[in-house]
Amino acid sequence: MSELVLINVSGRDKPGLTSEITGIMGRYDVRILDIGQAVIHDHLTWGILAEIPDESKAPPVIRDLLFRLHALDLQVRFAPITAEEYQQWAEGRNRARYIVTLLSRDIKAEQIARVSAITARYGLNIDNISRLSGRPSLDPAENHIACVEFSVRGAPSDARQLRSDFLHIAAEMNVDIAFQEDSIFRRNRRLVVFDMDSTLIEAEVIDELAREAGVGDQVAEITERAMQGELDFSQSFAERLGLLKGLDESVLEKIAQRLKLTEGAEHLIQRLKSLGYRTAILSGGFTYFARHLQRKLGIDYVYANELEIVDGKVTGRVSGPIVDGQRKSQLLLEIAEKEHISREQVIAVGDGANDLPMLSQAGLGVAFRAKPLVKESARHSISTLGLDAILYLIGFRESENR
């Protein structure tokens, strides 16, 4: 008869410990059923679930491990496991898996306590907790980025309410919390589509044009109501555009040069390109400015509205159909099909109500620094960090993000 033993080792980490410990077990033909290791500040926590093939071998292997680990100044604990306990555990490993990602400028104990309390309330068990971000500086003046990932298992009793609870505490504690299925697609995305205004860039270009035309307040009010979902996008767009009639074409280049990229945008796109991702701008803004960003960032596809200009003046109209929410959603699917990419492999990022159709089409839809209506409707949102926090949502560690 074999014996099942859970072995936990802790102490200061040293090179070669895994080899030392498993080398002793190997002399007794021990079978490894599970193994895990974590190192925090050079302190090792190491666990192994071992099947010792013959009960008579258990005392010698445990004795040898005790002697060697004591010599290495490590603490060890042995716990017998019954076959029934092991079977229940093994069957539980086949339950659905999810990833909970906590994003913040600084990770506080209360944040972890609140997140873990919600997972427990909905019947999810935490299998693993990992820090994806780099080791933070102790300098309070430094701009920190922090990310902790929880791997959880189980079937949430009410997934919709769970997301709502996460959204509530995220707003309360000024953090972002993402909850997504841990599927094969999570680290296998291939296409990222971006809204432009207030997503890739900090400004709403139509507001910038309006300021130059002397109608800034009027257009800004209409823009805000459209982004909040209070107005139909196409109707509000035509109304705002009409106020720009007569604006000199030379203003466009001046505005393009002063557009400021959103925090993390350049880093995110550089990293995605290095990994072979395809990228696209799907914008309700204007092609002139989207092309400017395409040249600057190396974006693969651009779809936006073509501002009509006659005799060097803006006419207050666009050429062709308006790129609204439904058009963005359609374009996402068209690009994915052209690139032979499944919808589940697409990431969509936007901030306004007209971005919701494309966010819902994508395998990973992210509302970025979005209006309340959009945050509540989207499956995922980022408000506290820059655009490159998306890399954490697809499982990249800080060491992989450079």
Can you give the pLDDT at residue 94? Answer: 66
Burial (CB count within 10 angstroms: exposed 0-12, middle 13-18, buried 19+), residue 45: middle
Can you give the pLDDT at residue 43? Answer: 93
Can you give the pLDDT at residue 307? Answer: 94
Burial (CB count within 10 angstroms: exposed 0-12, middle 13-18, buried 19+), residue 330: middle
| Tokens coding 260 | 């400021």
Which phi and psi angles does 167 have, rounded to 5°?
-65, -40
| Tokens coding 191 | 């296409």
Whole-number Å distance between alpha carbons of 331 and 384: 29
Whole-number Å distance between alpha carbons of 202 and 282: 16
Can you give the pLDDT at residue 402? Answer: 57
Residue 195 annotated as catalytic: yes
| Tokens coding 73 | 């100044």
Is 149 within 8 Å of 100 (Cβ atoms)? yes
* Mean pLDDT per 10-residue interval, the chain, length 402 residues: 92 91 93 91 92 87 94 94 88 81 93 95 92 82 84 90 93 94 89 97 93 90 79 84 93 95 96 95 96 97 95 92 94 97 96 94 96 88 95 86 57
Per annotation, catalytic residue among 13, 34, 182, 197: 197
| Tokens coding 298 | 């190396």
Whole-number Å distance between alpha carbons of 367 and 374: 7
Whole-number Å distance between alpha carbons of 303 and 283: 6
Report helix, strand or coil for 151: strand
| DSSP state for residue 195 in the 8-state scheme | -
Can you give the pLDDT at residue 144? Answer: 77
Can you give the pLDDT at residue 321? Answer: 87
Burial (CB count within 10 angstroms: exposed 0-12, middle 13-18, buried 19+), residue 86: middle
Amino acid at 341: I
Per annotation, catalytic residue among 176, 195, 351, 355: 195
Can you give the pLDDT at residue 229? Answer: 74
Scanning 93-184, the segments in alpha helix (DSSP H) are 109-121, 159-173
Residue 355 annotated as catalytic: no
